[in-house]
Amino acid sequence: MAIRGLNHITLATVDLPRALAFYTGALGLTLEYRWENGAYLSAGDLWLCLSVDGHVDRVTDYTHIAFDVSADEFTSICARLAAHGATQWKENRSEGDSFYFSDPDGHRLELHVGDLASRLAHISEQTAKGEKLCGV
């Protein structure tokens, strides 16, 4: 048996109304169901759970969740995020347009234009030019 793909993402929040406003207003996710201490949202096939937790603690590594966006909508979504007070936590240094930002609870997120195929094509091009890249 193998893992088939991403099932869902659960993010802890200390303020559910604030988190819901961010994920529905800034990112445009659809609220599917809400209860006292949580909510389910969707974006295409992505299922996101926001769960109230009294303590949210973030580490400083590269852990993050990337949302897929079209090249046509990248700039407008970035502007909408800025209007909602999203803060940038990293500059983009990889293939494809990316905006690395934090939600109100400090979860590190990314908007990314591209997919695995475009990333692998970029790696192949860089390798053909003689650049050494980390990988398998």
Full set of structural domains in the chain with CATH: 9-127 (3.10.180.10)
- Measured distance CA(127)–CA(131) in Å, rounded: 5
Confidence of residue 136 (pLDDT cuts 50, 70, 90): very low
More confident residue, 136 or 33: 33
Q: Report angle CA 112, 110, 107 to the nearest 5 degrees.
A: 165
Average pLDDT on 129-135 reads 62
From 73, 91, 95, 110, the catalytic residue = 110
Distance CA 100, CA 95 (A): 13
Amino acid 135: pLDDT:
46
More confident residue, 27 or 123: 27
This model's pTM is above 0.85? no
State yes or no: is 95 an active-site residue: no
